[in-house]
Chains A and B, each alone.
Chain A
Amino acid sequence: MTEQEIDSLNLSALKQGNHSELARMVTRYSDSIYRVALGMLNNPSDAEDILQETFIKAIRALPTFEGRSSLSTWLYRIAVNESLMLIRKQKPEVAVSDDEFNDSNDIDSFPSFQIQDWCCLPEKDFMSTETKSILDQSIQKLSANLRSVFILRDIEGLSIQETAEALGITETNVKTRLLRARLKLREELSDYFGEYLNKENQNG
C-alpha cells in the first residue's frame, strides 16, 4: 500500500473528521492493518481487536497528524505498537528478552545453514494450503522484533526507511533484523521443503 495510489486521500478532510473520507481511508487500509495484526498475534480475534483499536486511535489522533511520515506508515506504526503492547500483556516473560541475537552484525551467531536446493519444486507446491500453514507457523517462531520487520518489509513491501519510521528504530537496525528474519525463515522452509524433496525422490 503506497501513498501514490490512484486517487489519494484528502488529508484535510480526514483531519476534519469527514465521514466519507474516513470511510475511504478505512476501506483502503483495513486489509493491510489486519494482515499485520494477524501476523504479529497469530489469532484472528486479537487481530480484530488491534484492527479496531488502530483505527479508533488513528481517527482520534488525525487532527494532530503532522505528515512527517506517510499516512500508511503512520497507521502501520499504530498497529505494530498496539500489537506489541498486547503481546507484552499476554506474555510478559518473552517480551523482555525478545531477541535471541542482539543487534550486532555478528554472522557467527547464526545457526548452521541448510544447503538443499528446493527452488526447483513446481510452483503449485509453493502455493498449496499446506505450504501456507508452514509459512504461518514459521513466522510465529520469530521473535516479535524480527517478525515486525519481516512483515512490514517483505510482506507489506515497505522500504527500509518506511519500516524504520513505522517501528521507531534506525535503518541499520532494520537491515540487521531483516537479515536475521529472512535467514531464519529460509532455514525453516529448507527443513520443510528439504524433507519434501527427499520424499519425492524416494517415491519416484
Chain B
Amino acid sequence: MDNKQHCKELLSSISEYIDGSLNEQLCAELESHLNGCDNCRVVVNTLKKTIEIYHDQVSQDTAPQDVKDRLFVKLNLDDYMKK
C-alpha cells in the first residue's frame, strides 16, 4: 500500500458508498481508486458481504411462540391473539 493516506480517506466514505448515498464526485474518485487498489477493493467487498450476511441471517429471527403467548397475556390481549 504505497498510497496509504488515500486509502484511509477512502475508508471514511466507504459506508456511504455502500449505501449509495455518496455524492457523484466522491463516488467517481473512490471508484477510480478502487480500480487501482486491490486492498481497498477487498475491504469494500468484504464489508458489503458482512452487511449482507447479517441482514440475511439475523433479520429473519422471530420471537418464540411461547414468548408471544406470554406477551399477549401480559397485555390482556390474549383473546385477540391470532393462532
Instruction: With CB as the reference atom, state the residue of chain A lying closest to B8.
Output: A107
Q: Mark B32-60, 1 if CB is under 8 A from A, else 0.
A: 00000001001101110111011111110
A-B contact count (CB 8 A): 129
Which one of A26, A132, A160 has the highest number of Cβ atoms from chain B below 10 Å of its Cβ?
A26
Q: Choose from B12, B62, B68, B82 the contact partner of A179 (Cβ within 8 Å).
A: B12
How many Å lie between the Cα of A139 and that of B46 in the bound state?
A: 16
In the bound complex, residues from chain A placing their C-beta under 8 Å from that of B42 are 115-117
Size of the chain B interface, CB-CB below 8 angstroms: 42
Q: A31-B62, A119-B49, A186-B43 are in contact. Are A55 and B54 (CB under 8 A)?
A: no
**Distance from A204 Cβ to chain B, minimum over Cβ atoms (Å):** 22
How many Å lie between the Cα of A34 and that of B72 in the bound state?
A: 14
In the bound complex, residues from chain B placing their C-beta under 8 Å from that of A126 are 49, 53, 56-57
**Distance from B58 Cβ to chain A, minimum over Cβ atoms (Å):** 5
Interface residues of B (CB under 8 A from A): 8-9, 11-12, 14-16, 19, 21, 39, 42-43, 45-47, 49-51, 53-59, 61-64, 67-68, 70-72, 74-77, 79-82
